[in-house]
Structure formats: structure tokens, C-alpha cells
Structure 1
Amino acid sequence: MKADTTASGASIAESPDPGAGTKAELRLMRSLLIGIFVLLMVFALYFARAFFMPVILAFLLALTLTPIVRFLRKHGIPDALSATLLVLFSIFFVASVGYLLSGPVIELVNNTSSIGQQLTERLAPFKRPLEKIMDVSRQLEALTETAQEPGVQKVAVASSGILPTAASNILQAGTSITIVFVLSLFLLASGTLFYEKIVQSFASLTQKKRALRVVYDVEREISHYLLTVTVINAGLGTVIGLGLWGLGMPNPLVWGAAAALLNFLPYVGALMTILLVTVIALISFDTISYALLAPAFVLLCDVVEGQFVTPTVVGRRLELNTVAIFIAIAFWSWLWGFVGALMAVPLLVVVKVFCDHFDGLSHVGNFLAAQQAIVIDDEPAENDNRSGA
């Protein structure tokens, strides 16, 4: 009888837990639902980009200007007045810079063919070793064309007129810009309304305090980061513009503005600025050695900004993983083009700061963070060895 009881107890202990399978199925179902939600969100962002792009830009602009509104609020200026003045100043600044850059940029676009020809002539001595490779490429292309079937006809799809397309693009851009500035004005002028709505969404006082603390910390860190990076990029563009003007570079205002704008793209933006300045410098100066001074100066400014200024002012806590930065730039540039690429890193910082304030998302914030030194403590192992001895 005792043996039977032992055997039955062993069989009960060895029987699988019916709740384990249910928990595994729930985890699988949750993962599938999260994956489906992410895919649907990506499709929504892509197909509804005309709506989401200006809205997210407005939120980023509002977060950038929030520290200034908060500073003016402490000095007795109402949020509505300070928000109106800041948005009007932003519109005036963007319009003025666009007007000043429109002439040189249009001239550069119209002279693209001549710039390419001058660059080819200037680099002709370096092109001779590659002429044989180019000849082989042309021969292969000729063989490919002759190998096509004679009866195959090429079909060309006629595109719509240039003027209707340009008018539609201008109208869409104007609508998006209007949405950005008007929505950012409302967000800045709302004051503490957003915080009041968050407090009203929770029942207990503890939950209200925690939610308010998290939202305020996230908003403060993101707004401080965006404003600081914007000021740093503006300073970088000013220094580069003045330096190129001193070197005799044509249109230094264009390259200073390009450096400030493209610096929102870490690594990629600096490389693009250096390449553009190198091309224009090679066709603008007589000697190649003097022409290389301009891109060398831009490289020096980018190195000083990226290695010393930004880490010192912004801090190491918001440094991002390089792989995550490139993935974010590639994803948002595919999703929304050049504007999406400019918003990639600020949005990545928003996601990281948000994840750092929630325990369930801390692993995501850790993945987005830059690599940190891992300190391995050997004392517990040593203590174990001593105790074992």
C-alpha cells in the first residue's frame, strides 16, 4: 500500500502542469499581436505620411521650443503670448533663410551638368588608370544590347505634365508647413493642459503622481536635448559658413546652412557635407591642394563638434548605439524620404528616453544606448572559493 502511494505521488509529480501550456500560448499570442500591431503601424505611417509627417514635426518643434516657453513662464509671460512670438519668429526665420538660399540653390541645380563636366576635367589625371575598366564596361553593355531579341519593343509610360505635378507638390508642402506651425502653436499655448488631462486619467493619487513624474521627466529631457542639439547645429553651421567664406568658397551661406541641417544625421550628414564641399571646392579653386583645405576645415569642425562639444553639453547618458542610428536613418528615409531621415535621430531619442522610464521597456532603452564599459566584480567568486577552501 505504501509503494502504491509512492508510485501515485511520483506519477502526479511527473504529470505536466496544465497551466504551463496555457501561459506559453498566451505569450505566443501576445507576441503575434505585438508583431501585427507594429506592421499595421508601419503601413499606416507609410500610406498616411501626408498626415503623420506634419503632426510629428509639430510635436518635435513644440518640444524644441518648450524650454523657452517654460523659462518665459517663470518670468511672468503667459504661455499663449510666448508661444505666439516663438512660432512667428520661427516662421520668419525659416522664410528668411529659404529666401536667401533660394537663389544660390537654384543656380547650383541649374549648373549641375556644367559642374559635373568641370569636375570630370579636373579629375582627368586620376581617371586614366580607370579607363580600361570603363572600356570593358562599355563593351559588356554593347554586347547586352545586341543580345536582345529583335522583336522586343520597349514600352514607355508617359508621365503627367510637369506643371500640374509641381503645383500639387507646392500645395501639399504649403499645407504641411501650415499644419506644423499651427499645431505647434496650440501645443505650446496649451500650457499645463496636457498634464491636467494625464492626472485626470488615473484614479489613485499614487498613480497620478507617478504618471505626472514620468511624463514631466520625459518631456523635460527630450525638449532639453532637442533645443541643445539645434543650438549646437546652428553654431556649427555658422562656424563652417564663416570659415568657408574666409577661404574664398562660393556661396558659403549655402554650405553653412547645409552643414547645420545635415548634422541632424549623425555620421551620414557630415559625410554628405564634406563630399558636397569637396566637389564645389575642386571646381572653384585653381590648385587641388588649396581646394582640399575647405573639406579639411569642415571635417575638423565636425570632429570637434561630435567628439567634444556635443558629448560635453548634452551628456553621455543620451548617447545612442551607432547601429541603431543607422537603422533608424535607413528606416525613416525609406518611410518619409529626406524629411524622415532628419527626424530619425530625434525620434530615436524620444523612444529611448520613454523606454528608460518604464521597467518593462528598459531592455529596449539599453539596446538603443551607446556601448558602456562593463565592470565585472570578481569578489563574489573569490569569496566562494575561500568559503569552499
Structure 2
Amino acid sequence: MAKALDSFLEENLKLLKDQGLYNEIDVIDGANGPVIEISGKRLINLSSNNYLGLATNPLLKEAAKRAVDQYGVGAGAVRTINGTLDLHQQLEEKIAEFKGTEAAISYQSGFNCNMAAISAVMGKDDCILSDQLNHASIIDGCRLSKAKIVAYTHSDMDDLRKKAKEAAESGHYRKIMVITDGVFSMDGDLAKLPDIVEIAKEFDLITYVDDAHGSGVTGNGRGTVKHFGLEKDIDFQMGTLSKAIGVVGGYVAGKKALIEWLKVRSRPFLFSTAVPPGDVAATIAAIDMLMQSSERTEKLWENGNYFKEGLKRLGFNIGNSETPITPCIIGDEKLTQRFAKRLLEEGVYAKAIVYPTVPKGTGRIRNMPTASHTKEMLDEALAIYEKVGRELLGV
């Protein structure tokens, strides 16, 4: 190893560990369900984004197996050569129907979806107004576009209006986009989409909503745009297929012309092998389930509200969450890491979330009750929270 690299790694890894910012990766023995095993220890799992429990659903597994038998384990090429199977077309038609748009395009992951879509439309002569707490993939997609990036204070509509007005009246930009998460994954709050749409109409802004944590959760499962009834007002509805949907991938849903453009100009679509057929078939099955019934989504909300009320009753700070995502805000990074470790020792797997995922000084345990948890599991987790809270925080 080069001396410069060796020195860089040693110094900076030590720094992260000293500051409580080093993230240790745990290996799960088996499936990622409501209860998991790590190193042979049973743990109530409150860290998964498998919101509806579909990642282990028997019907999805059967759909994947049938597709593997028929199509094989890989798509064999990028979408634009000969990697587009009839399954990919079926999936995109299904997503468009699910999201209430003219068309949709699917990608290999939510992260590269944002990298692809933003940079395919926005360029160096454009401006992007981005919520201060947007996901890292949005931030990286904006940077890749080379557009002027203007961050506005989180969900502050006065600040957004001010910056939209400045950008529009400057005469410097060909296009201006406003981009926001639909559900903010670390706090659980919703974007103020009606206000954003109003400002966008006033200043002719392109609207882009990353609903990775809203699809399957809000709007009776159809997402945050549907929750507010704004399907006709949002230009880009982006989401993932790896959270509530339970499989893997990402998508953009919108007007047919937008999707046509993304299929010829978004680089991850053009230069990455297509999603394997088994995953595509499982995703189609998952979306079919959500379109046929909201039972899983209702159970998710029931469990989320139950756990939220339990933590509040115990005296924990859960912030301003409006969704089943339930942060337990500790603050200090080292204390947050210690709290998560004690939860683990007592039987709850809930990861510490610290900088740079959240701002410094706002470390929290991110809890995600799912539709698969039983009340008994949640009660057991709350009892452990009570014990650890008394020990470390005096609550």
C-alpha cells in the first residue's frame, strides 16, 4: 500500500472511532424479518426498511423462482441493447398505474435513479432548489448535474419562496427545479408538497419528489404525492423498490415524454445491466398486492403509532415524525452509539444514526416498526427501551 494512503486511512479511521462516528456493520444470520439473529443472538429488529414485510413474503418468493426458471438469473445486457425483457416492460406499466402517471422507467437502485434522472434533465445553465435534509443520493445527483445548487432551510416555505424568486428573477438559468424527499427518512416528517406545488406554479419550477420512504406507506400505499392528491402537479415521482416494496431497484414516474428522455439520456439506464428477472417478477407481485389491498399499510401504521406512543409515554424525544419512522433522539454521538449497543445487548436491534447521516449533535436511534411486528414484540422492545433509558438517560 502507498504510504500516503496508509497514513490517510489510519489517521481518519481513528478519528471516526474517537468521535463516535465509526459505523460497524453487523451480519444477519438468515432473513431480515421482524426478529433476526446476529451471531446466534435473537433480536427484535427495529432497523429494517422492509416496512410491509414483503421481503420475505412467500408469494414474492414464488414469483421470483418462477421467473428464474423461465428467464434465468440475469438480464444479460443493458436495457438499450437487449436487456429489456417483457417483465421490465410489465413492471414499468405497473408502476405507472400504481403512481397514477402516463409512464415510468425502472432503475437498478434508488440511489442511481437519483444520479440518473436529475443529471439527465438539469445542467450547468440550470438551478436546483434542494431541501437541506434531502437524501445523499439527491445531493450527489444534483452535484453530478453541474447545475447551481441552492439549499433551502428544511421545509421552510418562506425560504423556498425567497430563493425561488431570486433564482427566477436573476435571469441566469434556463430551468429551475425544486427537489425534496416526500418522507424524510431520519425524522419521519412529510414534505409540504401543497405549498411546494404552489410556489412551483408561481415561478415555473420543475418539481421532483423522492418518495423512497413514502411508497407503500403514505397515501394508502400509493405514496406522498397521492396522499396530497398532487399526481397531476409533480413532474418527477421517484421512488425505490427496496423498502416497502421489499425487493430492489428504483423508478421515476411521470409524463411519457419525460420517461422517453430518461431512457435515451440517463446514464445508469444506458450503461448498467438490467435488474435480474427474478427481482422484477417479485416487484410486480408486490405492487399487485398493494394495489389490491391496503391491509399491510394499515397494519404498519397501527404498529408505528403504538410504538410511538409507547416511547413518548416513557419520556423519550421522538421529534416531529408524521409516519411510522420513529426517531429516538439522544443528541451526543458517543452516547447514541452506547445506547444502541445496550439495546443490542438486551435484545433490540436498532441502529445508532449519527453524522454525516444526520447533523452533528442530533444523534438518534432510528426505529422502524413494520407490519410484521406483533404487539408482543413491540411491548418487549419498549420494556428494553425503558430499562436502557433509565440506565443511560435517567428517563
TM class by smaller structure: under 0.3
| Higher strand residue share | 2
**TM-score, structure 1 normalization:** 0.27
Return the structure number with greater helix share.
Answer: 1
Structure of greater Rg? 1
